[in-house]
Amino acid sequence: MGKFSIQYSDDSEPHPERRNIGLCSLLLTVQFLAQLLLIPQGTLFGQIMFLTSLAFSWGYNSWLSSLDKAKLQRDMLIEKVLNKPPMKKYELGTRTAMVVFVILALGKQLEEPRKLLESLLPNDTKVWKRWKDTVLERLKMGGEICFQKDEWDVEGYSESERNLLKTLYEDAEAAWRTHRKRSQIAG
């Protein structure tokens, strides 16, 4: 015989997701016992009850499996670990702008911005390498992040590569503008 158990590190207070698991387990056990002991399956009523119990079982399992685990983890992180800190939402058009904004927002707390940049934007083409080097250089210098045409209109790059580089620079500028607005509001 096998054994099935779920262990949690902290059982001091029941969490909502634990209650859901317990409720579903209890309902499935009741269903099993009712099906086994109370309902004669040889009659039409018994067969209808059996099919009904299967439908309810499917419903319980579907509901339990549909819980958004990532949302539960986010909620627990925010509520239990971070104690519900005040938060503001910033919307940036692209992932590239988001990464530059995060680097700007973390500022001096971030020891190695290149590592963060490489992990969040792992693209390794010559356009992306040039963009990363240029942006990191501007971030080290401080001040406004602004790019001129000669920085994306580079000799040896195809038209599509130039357009990509221009778009990436525009994303970095948008991130800097959003960060500047954030700093003016906070400061």
- d(CA 59, CA 64) in angstroms, rounded, equals 9
- d(CA 69, CA 28) in angstroms, rounded, equals 22
Structure tokens belonging to residue 95? 């992932």
- d(CA 28, CA 62) in angstroms, rounded, equals 13
pLDDT in tens, 172-187: 999 999 888 887 776 5
- d(CA 109, CA 111) in angstroms, rounded, equals 6
What are the phi and psi torsion angles at 86 (to 5°)? -65, 135
Degrees (nearest 5) of the Cα angle 63, 68, 69? 115
pTM for this structure?
0.56
pLDDT in tens, 15-73: 666 677 778 888 888 877 777 666 665 677 777 877 788 788 888 888 877 777 788 78
Sorting pLDDT into bands at 50, 70 and 90, what band is 146? Answer: confident
- d(CA 17, CA 24) in angstroms, rounded, equals 11
Degrees (nearest 5) of the Cα angle 131, 135, 141? 150
